[in-house]
Amino acid sequence: MAVVKPFKGILPKEDLVEKVASLPYDVMNREEAKKMAEGNPYSFLHVVRSEIDLPDTVGDYEPLVYQTSRKTLDRFIEEEIMNQDDQDNYYIYRQLMNGRVQTGIVACTSIDDYMNDVIKKHEFTRPTKEIDRINNFDYCDANTEPIFLTYRKNDTINQIVNDWIKFHMPLFNFTTDDDITHIFWRLDDPELVKQIHTIFESIDYLYIADGHHRSASSVKVGLKRREEFPDYDGTEEFNFFMSVIFPDEDLFIMDYNRVVKDLNGNSTESFLSKVSEKFDVEKLSQTEPYKPMKRATFGMYLEGDWYRLEAKSGIYDANDPVDRLDVSILQKNLLDPILGIENPRTDERIDFVGGIRGLKELEKRVNNNFKVAFSMYPTTMDDLIGIADAGEVMPPKSTWFEPKLRSGLFVHRLK
């Protein structure tokens, strides 16, 4: 049974929404964030990446960063750049990208559901990354960015959402520089609000699609509030965190590709020889990058040439939901034993390139300061849900979702 509840969203003014909305905090570095927000005092990056407003001598994770986030959020509200609704609502968030549509319900989900695995995970988190968002949420006393959740589609929820969209004007409708359209509705009918809550009670599980660190951080801030207010009764806002919940059929996972800085002491010839022990290797005559079109196949860019790799029979367990992932096949049979990338989470010799950047980005990296690149076949939603249901975790950097949720369209206060 999933607990999903409405909340009093803090939303930007309609005439400022395009200036407020920003990419999520974790898809850019400090320098990129500063450039994105340059000349735009309304950008929500001033809240989620407030180090951009401080001298470079101030570290990314110093207390002053989070104090500045809180001051900026408070100022946005005081100056009515953003305003809080006066009643609990659900919201509908639709994104259009390259002809695809994904439509989710913006709501609050339960920290207890997270702890009891009603909200299922598929990745490990790193404490250092959690601490950053813990501080942002804690100092701001708010969930400043949502968690990206999914669930197995429910026809009744789909019908409610589609009917609301059909007969109501959106609050926001704008297209960002990356040609993604964002449309946003307030669902404020009390009877439908109750109905949605009841329907989600019949849904067994929600799944984290993206935002494992944000969700873990949100839960830890909620637990901190419980310690601070031991008389809590479970209805307080800090017992919940803000999420956008999409049906699984709407979501699209892109490839998440790999680049490695060296061949781990191997010559090109010895490297290719070792690779051929586990993979059928075909050197391609094409000049365009090779994009894998089925499982267990990989593109490899090395010294100006593209190769097609296909995993040989028997090197992975097709019945194991983790072992059969392409990211696992590559890691266990090439990256670790041949290139020495034992822990891709921490090894500085490997980097990851989201599919949104295109395969030409792999060539660019290798033609500059990397040695070899691998193009991947994307993980599927069935993979993600199956692994979460099995209580397993995926290897790092297994999924890249597009489009990304924009930050600053809604905020959830913890009080």
- Mind listing the pLDDT tens digit for each residue in 49-80? 999 999 999 999 999 999 999 999 999 999 99
Residue appearing with tokens 């599919």: 355
SS (H, E, C) the chain: CCCEECECCEEECHHHHHHHCECCHHHCCHHHHHHHHCCCCCCCHHHHCHHHHCCCCCCCCCHHHHHHHHHHHHHHHHCCCEEECCCCEEEEEEEEECCEEEEEEEEEEEHHHHHCCCEECCCCCCHHHHHHHHHHHHHHCEECCCEEEEECCCHHHHHHHHHHHHHCCCCEEEECCCCCEEEEEEECCHHHHHHHHHHHHCCCCEEEEECHHHHHHHHHHHHHHHHHCCCCCCCCHHHEEEEEEEEHHHCCEECEEEEECCCCCCCHHHHHHHHHHHEEEEECCCCCCCCCCCCCEEEEEECCEEEEEEECCCCCCCCCCCCCCHHHHHHHHHHCCCCCCCCCCCCCCEEEEEHHHCCHHHHHHHHHCCCEEEECCCCCHHHHHHHHHCCCCCCCCCCEECCCCCECCCEEECC
In this model, does residue 345 exceed pLDDT 90? no
Q: Which pLDDT score is estimated for 27?
A: 87
Can you state the angle between helices 190-201 and 155-167, rounded to 10 degrees? Answer: 160
According to DSSP, the β-strands at 181-187 and 90-97 are antiparallel
In this model, does residue 125 exceed pLDDT 90? no
Torsion over CA of 33, 35, 41 and 47, rounded to 10 degrees? 10
In this model, does residue 146 exceed pLDDT 90? yes
| 377-401 per-position pLDDT tens digit | 999 999 999 999 999 999 888 999 9
Domain boundaries, the chain: 4-252+402-413, 256-377
- pTM for the predicted model, two decimal places: 0.92
Structure tokens at 72: 């900026």
Q: Which pLDDT score is estimated for 94?
A: 98
Strand order in 297-302's β-sheet?
279-283, 305-311, 297-302, 372-375, 256-260, 350-354
Rounded to whole angstroms, how far apart are CA atoms 24 and 20?
Answer: 12
Q: Name every residue whose Cβ is closer than 8 Å to that of residue 146 and which is 6 or more positions away in sequence.
A: 106, 211, 214, 242, 243, 244, 405, 410
Q: Which pLDDT score is estimated for 128?
A: 81
In this model, does residue 286 exceed pLDDT 90? no
Rounded to whole angstroms, how far apart are CA atoms 300 and 392?
Answer: 28
Q: Name every residue whose Cβ is closer than 8 Å to that of residue 383 and which is 6 or more positions away in sequence.
A: 321, 325, 394
Q: What is the mean pLDDT of residues 304-323?
A: 96
Structure tokens at 52: 């951009």
Residue 332: burial class (beta carbons within 10 Å; 0-12, 13-18, 19+): middle
pLDDT mean across residues, the chain:
96
